[in-house]
Amino acid sequence: MLTLYPYKNLGGANHGWLNARHHFSFAMYHNPARTGFGTLRVINDDIVRGGTGFDTHPHRDMEIITYVRKGAITHRDSQNNEGKTGAGDVQVMSAGSGVFHSEYNLEPEDTNLYQIWIEPNKKGVQPRWEAREFPKTPVENALTPLVSGRDEDVKNGALFIHQDAAIFGGRLKAGTVITHPIAYQAYILASEGTLEVEGQTMTRGDGAELTGADHVTIKALTDAEILVIDVPPRSQH
């Protein structure tokens, strides 16, 4: 079953330097019916104004994934990691036993990104950070594994996380149809353009939950970009 969550109906807050939309309860936005999806805890659709960002703050025992859609974000943390992640690329931070980090948009333009939190299957791990550039050419037959705790995906270039979950993504030319396998249940994000997912239309910024299916059929109605987040239920966490 596919359940749509249109962008216009998402929670959120505009802090001036940050305009955030929340797919699940986060910070001052609390919706008791939307506290996560399996081990997926947070999806924030953030626009960070140029020259601003998130000051140094702590995290613990969470896999924190950033997918940059426009612009770039610069990461620094207490493990002496530092790096800039640009549009179409991904960074992962395993907070583990505890880490402090900051995220700044040092660019003159606004940065648009997804911040995704997935609960780990191991607590207290050594904190780590990693970033990777991914191909920007449109995909034709299969989505690209971006982030995963599964050996086969990591061998195919995905960034590692401590959870049997995976994030796949890709840009699609108009008319492209892809059938993507689902191991558990999937949260789908229409990052750009207009797509038909299981017969329902999704437009830029929309989210959708897919349950009770072993695959999802995606058709790009325009040039588009999509993310599919495949996560186990919390009972397997």
pLDDT in tens, 189-231: 999 999 999 999 999 999 999 999 999 999 999 999 999 999 9
The predicted pLDDT at position 122 comes to 95
Tell me which of 3.40.50.620, 3.30.70.860, 2.60.120.10, 2.60.40.10 is the CATH number of domain 2-236: 2.60.120.10
pLDDT in tens, 31-75: 999 999 999 999 999 999 999 999 999 999 999 999 999 999 999
* Extents of the domains making up the chain: 2-236
Cα(144)–Cα(135) distance, integer angstroms: 9
Cα(132)–Cα(186) distance, integer angstroms: 23
* CA distance to 33, 88, 92, 118, per residue, from 36 (Å): 9, 25, 19, 9
Does the pLDDT at position 236 exceed 60? Answer: no
Does the pLDDT at position 237 exceed 60? Answer: no
